[in-house]
Homo-oligomer: A and B are copies of this chain.
Amino acid sequence: MDAQAELTRRPIAFAGSRLDRADHIRGDPEAVTRLMDRHARLLLLDGLEPRLDADAALVWGTLADAAPDAELVLLGLTEQGHARFVAAPPAGAASVSPPNPRLWQAISEIPAQDLAVYGAARSMAGWHARHRFCAMCGHPTVLAKGGWQRNCTSDSCRSEHFPRTDPVVIMLVEHEGRLLLGRQPRFLAKRFSALAGFLEPGESLEEAVAREVFEEVGLRVGTVTYIASQPWPFPSSLMIGCHADADSTALTIDHNELDDARWFTRAEVVDAMAASERGELGEAFGAPPRHAVAWHLLDWWLKR
């Protein structure tokens, strides 16, 4: 079985952008300025939400659409070498608010390429909006390197800051052919998904998987297997999808984290995934949405 081949049959949401990130250009301010030409386009956002046309495609304007003092982030170059930018929104709570409910609805309709470009743009624009000041000294920062860095403006500090990406482990836990899935309080009725949590400084991803599973449901896990990853732009995570074998089925659920956690049979997972293809809930539970890496983990589990 080639897990990678299975996974590429249906692209993972927010991955697969074809823009060239053009890392070699970012460090050359004159080259970045030269790219701000008549071929350049600006991704149009409302706060961090995408504007979509009738086909649910992203809407692009020209650089003239940006506010005069807007900070422009070079997202990358098209195959024709034309630059694509996004403007960092002004600082403030509104600009970095959680995703609009309409966005979750729209995600299944936005073309895969556009979704990938939007995800990167949202993460970067949100990072700038949340990092207008230096965490080292409190002085204002300014955009640098085409938007892939911010520099402190204080002469005695001059710290450089880089976009952050938070690794999250998300894992299928298995015991003798049954799969453990959990419900977070915010989930829609009957929905269950893979357990997940942020990786912390000082642990490998295998250790983070074991810690999170123990914290959330009290199980000890053995072998941890990596399956797939996904960039997740709310605000800027790397979802690292794994499979872990548990040594028992006795659960001690942390109800601060989870409403519920249950073991499901293969037949129940088959049914839930088939129902999700019809936009329905399965008999035993509702599968995670297809834009979540958890959907791919379940798909991988059924097909391996």
A interface with B by C-beta (< 8 Å): 2, 4, 12, 14-17, 21, 23-24, 91, 116, 119-121, 123-124, 127, 130-141, 148, 159, 161-167, 198-207, 211, 215, 223-224, 226, 228-231, 233, 236, 238, 240, 254, 256
Contact = CB atoms under 8 A, between A and B. Distances in A.
A297 to B, nearest CB: 14
A24 B214 CA distance: 11
B23 A215 contact: yes
A164 B200 CA distance: 8
Nearest to A157: B93
24 contacts: A4-B224, A12-B204, A15-B203, A15-B204, A16-B207, A24-B215, A120-B200, A123-B202, A124-B201, A130-B135, A133-B136, A133-B138, A134-B135, A135-B161, A148-B200, A163-B201, A164-B166, A164-B201, A165-B199, A201-B233, A201-B236, A202-B231, A204-B228, A205-B238
Copies in the complex: 2
Contacts of A15: 203-204, 207
Contacts of A2: 223
A258 B131 CA distance: 31
> Which of A15, A131, A135, A256 has the most chain B CB atoms closer than 10 A to its own CB?
A135
A231 B254 contact: no
Contacts of A132: 135-136, 138
B127 A137 contact: no
A198 B135 contact: no
A163 B202 CA distance: 11
B139 A138 contact: yes
A135 B161 CA distance: 10
